[in-house]
């Protein structure tokens, strides 16, 4: 399996499922389109990442040996009911702005996941990528923050943890102290909804080992 992400958190989550994928990050334009809704955005970005990596596979010297490899791509966004999307902060002030906006409020964390099977010997799929069109889905978790003081926000931003994370916090790190409650899949907030993903992999491949090995703690 190919993981189209450079996120160490996603790699760790996949390894927790018993899968040790090859990492091949995708390089795409992640800008939101005009009037694009958050759920449509995160699903599109996951699909575009998977497509980009399928093209990368065609450039590999051993691309024929990669035939039938599964490409898994994901993208996570934080967003609020007014449709505002919070990506990774550009600097410390941007991180403070995001955390101030999220303070005392409930927001949504959505992860889009795309699965594609690489086909080295077939014509491109309808979207032009050298793979068969597969599946894409979105999982959403609701997270509520405590009311945060300016000093609390400043202390967290000073730790440096928010800077590479959507919404300027990491729930698996010190960002957990910002969270009052969570409704939904915790690991989805970390970056990959492994419970739903394991079931989607079973449907996609017809191989129940993806779920059974995860439940048993065995490598796939």
- Look up the CATH number of the domain holding residue 22: 3.90.950.10
Calculate the alpha carbon distances from 3 to 8, 24, 69, 132 in Å.
11, 6, 11, 17
Return the pLDDT at 147.
98
Catalytic residue among 75, 127, 151, 185: 75
Return the pLDDT at 122.
59
Task: Look up 94 and say whether it is catalytic.
Answer: no
**Under 8 Å between Cβ of 100 and 153:** yes
Return the pLDDT at 217.
81
For 153, counting Cβ atoms within 10 Å of its Cβ (0-12 exposed, 13-18 middle, 19+ buried), the class is buried
Range of the domain at 159: 2-216
Return the pLDDT at 38.
97
Calculate the alpha carbon distances from 108 to 35, 59, 142, 155, 194 in Å.
18, 37, 5, 24, 18
Radius of gyration (C-alpha) of the chain in whole angstroms: 18
Return the pLDDT at 43.
97
Place of tokens 């902060």: 89
Return the pLDDT at 48.
94
Q: Nearest-CA neighbor of 99 among 142, 27, 147, 45? A: 147
Return the pLDDT at 132.
65
Does an H or E element contain 96, and which?
helix 92-102
Q: What's the structural domain count of the chain?
A: 1
Return the pLDDT at 96.
98
| Residue 163 CA neighbour count, 13 Å, CB half | 10
Task: Note the pLDDT tens digit of each residue in 34-60.
Answer: 889 999 999 999 999 999 998 888 888
Low-confidence spans in the chain with pLDDT less than 50: none
Percent composition of the chain: helix, strand, coil (DSSP 3-state, to 5) = 40, 20, 35
On whether the pTM is more than 0.85, the answer is yes
């Amino acid at each position: 399996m190919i993981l189209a992400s450079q996120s160490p958190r996603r790699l760790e989550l996949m390894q927790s499922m018993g899968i040790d994928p090859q990492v091949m990050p995708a390089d795409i334009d992640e800008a939101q389109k005009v009037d694009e809704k958050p759920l449509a955005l995160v699903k599109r970005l996951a699909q575009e990442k998977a497509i980009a990596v399928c093209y990368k596979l065609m450039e590999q010297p051993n691309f024929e040996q990669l035939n039938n490899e599964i490409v898994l791509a994901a993208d996570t966004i934080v967003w609020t009911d007014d449709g505002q999307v919070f990506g990774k902060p550009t600097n410390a002030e941007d991180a403070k702005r995001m955390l101030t906006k999220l303070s005392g409020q409930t927001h949504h964390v959505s992860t889009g996941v795309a699965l594609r099977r690489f086909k080295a010997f077939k014509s491109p799929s309808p979207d032009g990528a050298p793979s068969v069109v597969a599946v894409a889905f979105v999982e959403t978790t609701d997270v509520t923050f405590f009311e945060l003081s300016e000093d609390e926000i400043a202390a967290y931003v000073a730790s440096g943890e928010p800077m590479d994370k959507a919404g300027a916090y990491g729930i698996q790190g010190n960002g957990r102290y910002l969270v009052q409650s969570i409704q939904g899949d915790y690991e989805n907030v970390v970056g990959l909804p492994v419970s739903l993903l394991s079931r989607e992999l079973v449907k996609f491949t017809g191989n129940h080992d993806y779920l059974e090995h995860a439940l048993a703690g065995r490598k796939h």
